[in-house]
Amino acid sequence: MQVTLKVFRYNPEVDKRPHHSTYKLEAQPTDRVLDLLEYVKDHIDGTLSFRRSCAHGVCGSDAMRINGVNRLACKVLVQDIKAKTITVEPILGLAVLKDLIVDMEPFFEHYRSVMPYFVNDEPVADNIERHQTPEERARFDDTTKCILCAACTTSCPSFWVNGEYVGPAAIVNAHRFIFDSRDRAASERLRILNDQFGVYRCHTIFNCTIACPREIQVTQAIGEVKRAIVTGRLD
C-alpha cells in the first residue's frame, strides 16, 4: 500500500520557522510508524532527526504526536491509522531541538524533584530482605510500569499552560514510592507535591491516562496522592 507521511521539520540552525515535509512511501499494513521514519532517514533524507532505541515499546524514547495524539512510534501500525495522511509531530510543551527531538531536561528535572528512589536507612535484620506482603506490593504495582516516555505530561493542558507544573509522570513515579510499605520518605514526597506546582495543578482532565502507552491509571494515581496529602493516610 502507499502511505503519505507528513513530518514536522525544524532545524533551528538554518530554518526561520518550522515546516512539514511530505513523503509518499510504499508500506506494509503491519509496518510501524517508526519503520516509516527509519525508511525516510535511511533512503530519502538522512538529516531527519528523531529519538528511538528499543523499537519495542520499552525504552520510552520515541513518544511523538501521531495524527494529533501522543503515541510511541514503535507501537503504532500503519493499519491502525484510519486517516489518509500520517502526520508526525513532536510532543508539546517542551522546546523542539530538531525535527521530532524535544528538550527532555525540564521533564527529567520534574521527575528528579519528587525523590524517585527508595529511601530507608533502617538496618535490615540479619541482612536479609525487607519483607513485603503480596498485597503491599500490589498497592503500587501499576506505577512501577512507567517507562518515562513523557506522553502523559506533554498531553496535559495544565502542563502546556505552565511548564512549572511537576506533571503526571513525576507524580506517577512519586506514587510508586509513596505507597511502598518499605519506603520511609512518603511524607517528604507529599510535602513536595503539595506546593503550588504540585498535584493541585491537575484538574482531572484525563489526557494523561489516555496517552499512557503502558496503560497506567495515571489520573487515579494522582487522585491517590491528593487523597494522601489531605488525609495523611497511605491506605
Task: Out of 202, 212, 228, 229, name the contact with ligand F3S by CB under 6 A.
Answer: 202
Largest CA distance in the chain: 65
Pick the closer one to ligand SF4 by CB: 27 or 102: 102
Cβ–Cβ < 8 Å for 39, 48: no
CA–CA distance, 215 with 171 (Å, rounded to integer): 15
Q: How far is the CB of 147 from ligand FES (least distance, A)?
A: 7
CA–CA distance, 33 with 79 (Å, rounded to integer): 10
Cβ–Cβ < 8 Å for 22, 44: no
Per CB under 6 A, the segment of 3-11, 31-39, 46-54, 212-220 that binds ligand SF4 is: 212-220
Cβ–Cβ < 8 Å for 215, 209: no
- The CB-side HSE value for 186 (13 A sphere, CA atoms) comes to 20
Cell digits for 75? 507501537
Q: How far is the CB of 170 from ligand F3S (least distance, A)?
A: 10
Task: Out of 3, 37, 61, 156, name the contact with ligand FES by CB under 6 A.
Answer: 61
Instruction: Say how many residues touch ligand FES, by CB under 6 A.
Output: 12
Task: Out of 207, 221, 225, 226, name the contact with ligand F3S by CB under 6 A.
Answer: 207
> Is residue 154 at the binding interface for ligand FES, with CB under 6 A as the rule?
no
Q: How far is the CB of 159 from ligand SF4 (least distance, A)?
A: 11
Pick the closer one to ligand FES by CB: 52 or 182: 52
What letters, b where the CB count within 10 A reaches 16 and e where it falls short, cover 63-94? bbbbbeebbbbbbbebeebeeeebbbbbbbbb
CA-based nearest residue to 91, from 122, 120, 68: 68
Strands (E), the chain: 2-9, 19-26, 63-66, 69-72, 85-89, 96-98, 101-102
Pick the closer one to ligand SF4 by CB: 63 or 190: 63
Task: Out of 186, 192, 212, 225, name the contact with ligand SF4 by CB under 6 A.
Answer: 212
> Is residue 143 at the binding interface for ligand F3S, with CB under 6 A as the rule?
no
Task: Out of 77, 92, 205, 234, name the contact with ligand F3S by CB under 6 A.
Answer: 205
Residues that bind ligand SF4 (CB under 6 A): 60, 146-152, 168-169, 172, 211-212, 214, 216, 218
Residues that bind ligand FES (CB under 6 A): 52-55, 57-62, 72, 74
